[in-house]
Structure 1
Amino acid sequence: MEYQEIIKRLNELRKIGKFVPHDSMIKTKEQIEGIIEASRINTLVLDEVEKNIKAGMTTLEIDNIVKNKTVELGGTCPCFGFEGFPMNCCTSINDLACHGIPDSSVYLEDGDIINVDCTTEYKGYIGDASRMFSIGEISDEAHRLIEVTKYALDESVKAIIPWKSTLDDIGYIINKIAKRNKFSVVREIGGHGVGLELHEEPFVSHYGKKGEGMLIVPGMIFTIEPLISAGSRKVFIDESDGWGIYTVDGSLTAQVEYTILITEDGAKILSR
């Protein structure tokens, strides 16, 4: 279905009271092509991190890998300077749930689990993804937490049916899987539209009621990035840097993020 056909159908649904995306949330063919390429590069950057990450390195070294590989591939890191963020990617270890600032004094140790979240801008378009990495031998709990988080994300993506699924369906599936495994979803953090800006509408919650929320339609591009805790879902912001978000009870957390494109056939993963 072409862009104008999608817009026409949305207008028809809007007239009968359906909760549908704004026209601005639907990407054109040209925009989609640009975002696909930015997302391809984004994945290659995380591949480079995966090749090099190890115990004994600092999170600042990870940031340098992200920056250097991005520049080598012709891109830039829009995370740098975004709302004042001081580095090129986020490095979040163990109970530091997200938005960890890379630091020359923070070393990776055996047993750590770390999320590396990076974004790539290429020729005006943006891809966004994050991965979990295990450092050395990790605990059984940490391993299961990572596996459940990735499984919940994958299941939510597979379940998307364009023109039928809603955004809350995504959260419903993720939360159900987390709870079934005795884990909890951190509710303050969600996915988001992406592609032309780093953060766009809509907000994608990782918990919700089945069948509620905005209709998912072809042409939408957004991230799904469940943040799951092994203990309490409650978190707090580190006042010392204003960025790091930690679990209140010190529980381990895991997060995995994809950028996805909604097509007529379902959801296509662009960056992972």
Structure 2
Amino acid sequence: MGEAKRRKMAEQKDSVAPDVSGLAGDVSNHSPWADDSENWEPEKHPDYNYLMPLRCAAIEARLLAASDADKRAFLADTRPVHAELYDGLTPLGRAEYAGTYRGTANSSIEHYWPAINLVINGSEQPPVVTAHPLEVDGKMNAYAAKISTLQTGRDKNTTYAAIVARWLEFNQIHPYANGNGHISRLMVTVMGALTGHPLANTWTIHPSPLTDDAKLALANSNTREGLLSLARFILAHSL
């Protein structure tokens, strides 16, 4: 990546990365959550709207400043970052929801198998079936191997075609009980930086930058037009 582009990316991201050291990961002074539902909805936690923007900004800034080796390590295994992002935002007695893949043996999400229900332009879409819990670990191991082959030095269109493919595959596996969207958007940010084609600060981790049209393209990602729409959407957020 050229020095001018690197500086531009740093300037873009610095504007959304406040100093939250010692704050973003601490929920000890915040309200306990008595929700014991198996259907984890972290956005209902009373401290979610306070903690999530801070944590996303801090983690994003750290990952963008990390070495290429550390960026690839994150992309290959996002569980430590997922655990950090959702620490203290899990249902009562289910701390392992943060940082644990669905299907993990002897965990409370060993058999967790959600369907994704998208509401677009006021209309509910057919549910998107995610990977069976027993398949998640194997699929994520295969995914990590693909991530390791992500190449640098290619043109922007070729690079983002590969990034969109990896983004879609992650969301189709849906390895976590929740938080897959935040993690996958972080992954897109890191993949862009790693390959020399960074994203502008219009591509946000929290809140989601996805428009209804982008969600519709995501729901139809098994079609050529859906894939092209997603690629155009992400390219529009690149520097």
* TM-score normalised by length of structure 1: 0.30
Structure number with higher helix proportion: 2
Q: Which of structures 1 and 2 has the larger relative contact order (alpha carbons within 8 angstroms, sep 6+)? A: 1
Structure number with higher strand proportion: 1
* TM-score normalised by length of structure 2: 0.33
